[in-house]
Structure 1
Amino acid sequence: MEAKKSKNADLESKRSLFFQIGLILTLIAVFMAFEYKSYDPYAARVFIRELDNTPDQFIEVTVQKKELPPIPHTPNFPITIVDNAVEVDDEPIIDVNAGDGTEIPDFQPRLPEEATIIDNTPVTVPEFDPEFPGGLAKMAAFLSDHIKYPEMARQTGIQGIVYLNFVVEPDGHISNVTVLRGIGGGCDEESVRVVQSMPNWKPGMQFNRKVRVSFNLPVRFTLYH
């Protein structure tokens, strides 16, 4: 027996209708999905803070105007330009055209006091020569007793004459002992040492006045074999 479908139960004839309805619903769902907007509450808070309408605060910088000091008054003095080729008197100019009632003291030039010139140059040829206490013989004995022959000169055989110069001061002491010509080996230094140790001399005289006198003295060094 052949089975037959009822026309009410047969859905094959409505297949195209269902397809169209499903397609429409799908399109509506897709459209609504694109139009839907989602808001993040945290992002909104940040955005509100960024768009705060509080006016910005500015720090006002005040520049105080510095008052310049007044320009000092410069008196107008006349400037005189002097030609270097013209001789100018360096003496002070005295205005004698004083007003009435002005007393002008008498000008009394101050005369320079007479200066006493003291010549300290040693005299080479005085009226009276200076003298060692007791004379030349005593001086020769003094030198012979106090001079020691230097060991270096003794070992090398040095001998000869040492020429000295010194000054006998007005009080008799010896100064400025120098070697005019030496022989070395320590003889020069030994001669200077002994002459500097001399006692005070009798000073030289010039015009009844004690003066400085330059004195030359030869000292001979001799070796005996």
Structure 2
Amino acid sequence: MELKKNLGSDLRRWYAPFLNFGLIISVGAVLAAFEWKAYEEKPLLEISNSNSNWDSEVIPITIQSPPQAPPPIVAPEIKILDDDIEIEDLISIDINFSGDQEIPELIFEGPPTIEVASEILDFTEVQAQFQGGMDAWYAYLKANLTYPKQPQRMGIDGTVFLRFVINTDGSIQDVEVVRSVDPLIDKEALEVVRNSPKWKSAMHHGKPVRSRMTMPIKFKLN
């Protein structure tokens, strides 16, 4: 036998309406609580009785006039004199030269000499060298060469190649950088070569000649 439910005694048929109604009331109460404003009853502020000093401080209104234009530049007046006016103060130069004195004739013994710079040789029979040899050169570099501080902190090292000319008297000129490492290191290498003592000049066909040399200078961090 099948059991049948009585609709009048079913308690869950009003469950959904009551649940929705309760949610609506709860949300409305929360919104009303947040939107509720409380006003404190105070007398209105009377401006006429307030201790304001608005009328006591009057700010003056100043009208600035535009800057005046600079006065026009007046050209100086140039006076034009007549050509007939004679100038009395003349400049006289006395060279103490009589008209009877003869001027000696300049006689040249030969054609004028034209000075030609001696040739710079890249390859010679006897190469130029530092006074005392390479050991003396390395000792000079060790005593006079300074490692710049900034390249040291940055960890920069390397070999600078310099090219320079050694004259017949052993002096140094035309020092230039062939291969660079760092501007500060290059500058230090140039200075130490320019200030070096005189070298022994190169020899070619038994005569001292000007020669060109390329020299490496090594900067290495320990």
Based on CA coordinates, which of the two structures has the bigger radius of gyration? 1
User: TM tier, shorter chain?
Assistant: 0.3 to 0.5
TM-score under structure 1 length normalisation: 0.47
TM-score under structure 2 length normalisation: 0.47
